[in-house]
Structure 1
């Protein structure tokens, strides 16, 4: 078997700074909007793929917020852009030419939209058998809800998350981030990589898809299997762990902290660290199951002790004896935390109008490689001419496309 080259050949138009990253040489057509699809594509862009964002001419803020806004910049760094009207016959034909040379296409339109535009997998597969076509929908590509539009909070509700989030008796509660959008995007990126690996053996692409609802049901994890295997319908547990006690939020003399000391060994160490060895002799508390049943009394008794000293004291004391614990930070405090600083989760970026800013870094670490922002967020249609030229369009063809209204401003 021939050796793989050390440096993969970058795709035309790829950033030189990305040429050593794992996905260098791959071309991605990005038709995503909102958050779930862009979350997927951001993984590909950050790790070296040549991502071409395809937007309609005159695309407005509804496609991801103001182009200079925090959300758009964080989601759409490291891409090139073309503004192409897929409803225009000339624009549609131009898109098909781009699709012939693409490795991956990612979209999160409503299921019926891509079929109406004639850009679904079934339309592109005959043109490019190697294409990995990747989709995110609200509820799945088929089935009784397939044509419904879906957003994160709807999936949180339908997928059970809101029924187990929040304090008992307070009613359903959404979580504070769009967890279904983010999870669906992460899972689709994983599916794309699986299909890429298979393509190395077969030479053929696949249709890869997930949905917000599937992502949410998957993320129910042990709460789902409590029902599937034991018939237990979980409810809201607030800041307590649903089954492990004590594990949750406890008061201190200044601000609350999280403590996790539920296993038999940790419970013993915890009682001694709090100088309460007599808790080990309480009959109801001798087993995890007993402490879980008596959680209200356990939590109240622990809180009486923890509120006597400040948070830093308890964190230092419990860390010293191996009890997992930590502060409850606001977002500002997160990025001031020394470990978060060490991990480099605030990634520097130079923006053409906003200057030196920071965005959220990739959470994937590959030893010997480092990702970053190597390309600014593109203007609408900024790279149209070079993208089309790379696909074999002549200067006259590009002028004709623009004159037809199919191609937006460069």
Structure 2
């Protein structure tokens, strides 16, 4: 096995909380050397975000997005020359300060481009660097104003957020993709560039079919609970003991579902002949399916329907979800010096992700970083 796909790259990580640290952790998993720049005494905000805590008292939030990194504690007002030296050596810099902050510190892209023309400089913002620059870039705010909460939850109910800071994660993924594209450009030209990504733009892109409904047809989607606006049956149903999700996305799967439920009459009913018919007849069809599903448990139906080729599954908690991934051979977790970690989901045959370093203690690599910088 060769080194990681990104081995040899140095990433200066000036980001905090989630979107930026998630992106830089993915780069680190692929072999990049990531130096996390943190505030002296406090560090990344997420070091204090608990409970829950790991057995040694560290916040699990921080541990979840900072493995494979080194930490240096710098006061950017007093140690700016060290920060500039790091940026001058780096291949990639990632920051998510409020727009204008890095410029005032002498660490903005125009200044660092003069110092390091090959630098790929990634800025993550909440709402861009224009009129929205002053808006707070919090995931919850982005979910609210970006429309995600309007399509999440039950019809007529209050807006509901996703159960995880999903917009931060999506933005981190977009940031990573933009960084890799800019590195490819640098490979062919020798020139770095400024990569900009915002929470709002990332969310609008990730809303996919909902956003397309508005952009292409002027349709404003509404919350539908666990139902799908364009596919039936594709929602939560009630088995004898607990809920089960069924996602019959085409006519063949619907016919297989009806056969497995011993309701072939539904498959032959002209009211449900096509997906469009089933969407129109959702209420009646769902009632029929729930009545049939009440005869057996969710686990029994999971086995029967899966064998019949019908996509389905019980609603698991995270313990059951990890157990399922283990059973399927996906190896969902690893341990680094005793610290439990969620495994990187990428599988690369020649340059797989690696797990080299536990999430760092605050400033534990100050000496190492200063030595490589000659400071």
Q: Bin the TM-score by the shorter chain.
A: over 0.9
Q: CA separation in 1, counterparts of 2:18 and 2:234?
A: 32
C-alpha contact 2:346 2:352 (8 A) present in aligned 1: no
Which one of the candidate residues 101, 118, 121 is aligned to 1:130?
A: 118
SS of the equivalent of 1:347 reads strand
Which one of the candidate residues 312, 318, 340 is aligned to 1:358?
A: 340
C-alpha contact 1:249 1:256 (8 A) present in aligned 2: yes
Q: Is the aligned partner of 1:120 residue 2:108? A: yes
Q: Structure 1 stretch 274-283 or stretch 158-167: which is displaced more?
A: 274-283
1:168-317 equivalence runs, <5 A: 168-317=155-304
After superposition, give the CA deviation of every residue in 1:294-328 in whole Å (9 maximum; x if it has no partner). 21111111000001111122111111121111111
Superposition TM-score, scaled by structure 2 size: 0.94
Residue-pair matches, total = 368
Per-residue deviation at 1:292? 0.5
Q: Is the aligned partner of 1:344 residue 2:334? A: no
Per-residue deviation at 1:339? 4.6
SS of the equivalent of 1:34 reads coil
Q: Is the aligned partner of 1:81 residue 2:71? A: yes
Deviation beyond 4 Å, 4+ runs, structure 1 = 338-341
Q: CA separation in 2, counterparts of 1:190 and 1:77?
A: 19
Q: CA separation in 2, counterparts of 1:28 and 1:152?
A: 24
Per-residue deviation at 1:341? 6.0
Partner of 1:21: 4
SS of the equivalent of 1:136 reads strand
Which one of the candidate residues 63, 81, 89 is aligned to 1:101?
A: 89
Per-residue deviation at 1:183? 0.4
Per-residue deviation at 1:338? 4.8
SS of the equivalent of 2:100 reads helix
- Judging changes above 3 Å, is the alpha-carbon distance between structure 1 residues 191 and 61 closer, same or farther for their aligned structure 2 residues? closer
Partner of 1:30: 13
Partner of 1:71: 61
Q: Structure 1 stretch 372-381 or stretch 211-220: which is displaced more?
A: 372-381
RMSD of the alignment, in Å?
1.7
Partner of 2:360: 378
Q: CA separation in 1, counterparts of 2:339 and 2:74?
A: 30
Q: Structure 1 stretch 160-169 or stretch 279-288: which is displaced more?
A: 279-288
Per-residue deviation at 1:165? 0.5
C-alpha contact 1:33 1:64 (8 A) present in aligned 2: no
Superposition TM-score, scaled by structure 1 size: 0.86
Q: Structure 2: 5+ residue runs without aligned partners?
A: 50-56
Partner of 1:335: 322
Partner of 2:37: 54
Larger Rg belongs to: 1
Q: Structure 1: 5+ residue runs without aligned partners?
A: 1-5, 8-19, 351-355, 394-410
- Judging changes above 3 Å, is the alpha-carbon distance between structure 1 residues 247 and 125 closer, same or farther for their aligned structure 2 residues? same
C-alpha contact 2:72 2:364 (8 A) present in aligned 1: yes
Q: Structure 1 stretch 273-282 or stretch 176-185: which is displaced more?
A: 273-282
Q: CA separation in 1, counterparts of 2:343 and 2:256?
A: 37
After superposition, give the CA deviation of every residue in 1:260-290 in whole Å (9 maximum; x if it has no partner). 1241222222212211111133332122112
C-alpha contact 2:241 2:297 (8 A) present in aligned 1: yes
Q: CA separation in 1, counterparts of 2:252 and 2:227?
A: 19
C-alpha contact 1:26 1:50 (8 A) present in aligned 2: yes
Q: CA separation in 2, counterparts of 1:215 and 1:97?
A: 31
SS of the equivalent of 2:253 reads helix
After superposition, give the CA deviation of every residue in 1:4-48 in whole Å (9 maximum; x if it has no partner). xx96xxxxxxxxxxxx11111000111111111111111111111
C-alpha contact 2:31 2:354 (8 A) present in aligned 1: no
Per-residue deviation at 1:340? 6.0
Q: Structure 1 stretch 55-64 or stretch 76-85: which is displaced more?
A: 55-64
Q: CA separation in 2, counterparts of 1:27 and 1:84?
A: 18
